[in-house]
Amino acid sequence: MPWPIRLGVPVAVAAAFLAVWWFAVIVSETVIFPSPRDVAIGALQLAREGTLWEHIGASLFRVGAGFLLAMAIGIPLGLLMGWKALAHTALNPIVQVMRPISPIAWIPIAILWFGVGDVAPIFLIFLSAVFPTVVQTAAGVHTIEPQYLRAARNFGITRSRLILHVVIPAVLPQIIVGMRVSLGISWLVVVAAEMVTLRSGLGYMIIDARNAGNRYDLVVAGMVIIGLIGLALDLGMRRLEGLKAVRWRYGR
């Protein structure tokens, strides 16, 4: 698809969405819900004051820390569960029980264990990211073609080299997919996670704007900023799919 179309179509859709939003606010004559112009003015005000960048930096730090911790634990655990049947039998029930529990449900426990600070939201983001990573990685190991493993064993390579040079390259595309999903979920729960922080983060900014004076322009601005950063993170993660080590799995 030519790049003018790839760029022009999303821009046209976004412009149409903003037009419908603006028209709905004008027609309804609401004094509560902000127009796109009000949201832009509120965001620019926070940007000039410098508080917006502080909130963005705090949120990115917490999401980054929780996500990287989840990858450091989830990927090796997923490889273990996919490679060893005993590990899968023992750990899969625990993973499947823990996975559906919303991170929001963990908020009271996080406050009890870690208090009100950075550790609690990092813990919540870790929980939101680690289980999808484990499941996707283990599923990737299970889908490795048996002939790859048999061919490698015929050459008499050691188990460690088999895992390093055959298993991990074969499952790497699935790991990338799991990382992409986990990062999206991590950023999705940032608002709930930052309900337990002190005075920083986009989630805190949204809640504070609502409680401090019904500043719905700042509430919606925070939502828009979270969405735009989430889009940027997803686009960055998709760049990993273009690496030579994983490109073989994708058609383009």
DSSP 249: T
Q: Tokens 């996080």, residue?
A: 110
Strands (E), 87-230: none
Helix (H, G, I), strand (E, B) or coil at 32: coil
Q: CB within 8 A of 195, min separation 6: which ones?
A: 107, 203, 204, 207
Residue 182: enclosing H or E segment and its boundaries?
helix 168-188
Amino acid at 44: L
Q: For the chain, 252 residues long, give each residue's pLDDT as a single digit of tens.
A: 676 777 778 888 888 988 998 998 888 877 788 888 989 998 998 899 888 899 999 999 999 999 999 999 999 999 999 888 899 999 999 999 999 998 888 988 988 898 888 898 999 999 999 999 999 999 888 888 777 777 777 777 777 778 777 788 888 888 888 898 999 899 988 888 887 766 788 888 888 888 877 788 888 999 999 999 999 998 888 887 777 666 655 444
| Measured distance CA(175)–CA(74) in Å, rounded | 10
Max Cα distance, the chain (Å): 76
User: What's the sign of the alpha-carbon dihedral 109, 113, 63, 184?
Assistant: negative
Identify the pLDDT of residue 90: 93
- Can you say whether the dihedral through the CA atoms of 154, 155, 158, 163 is positive or negative? negative
Query: Residue 173: which of 246, 86, 70, 97 has the closest Cα?
Result: 246
- Which residue shows structure tokens 């048999």? 150
Q: What are phi and psi of 158, to 5 degrees?
A: -70, 165
What contacts 172, CB < 8 A, 6 or more positions away? 245, 246
Q: Where are the beta strands (DSSP E) in the chain?
A: none
Positive or negative, the CA dihedral 154, 158, 160, 164 is negative
Residue 10's pLDDT is: 82
User: Quick check: pTM over 0.75?
Assistant: yes
196 with 127: CB under 8 angstroms? no
Smallest CA-to-CA distance from 126 within 201, 205, 72, 196 is with: 72
Residue carrying structure tokens 């040079």 = 165
Number of Cβ within 10 Å of residue 87's Cβ equals: 15
Question: Considering only the top CATH level, what class is 35-247?
Answer: mainly alpha
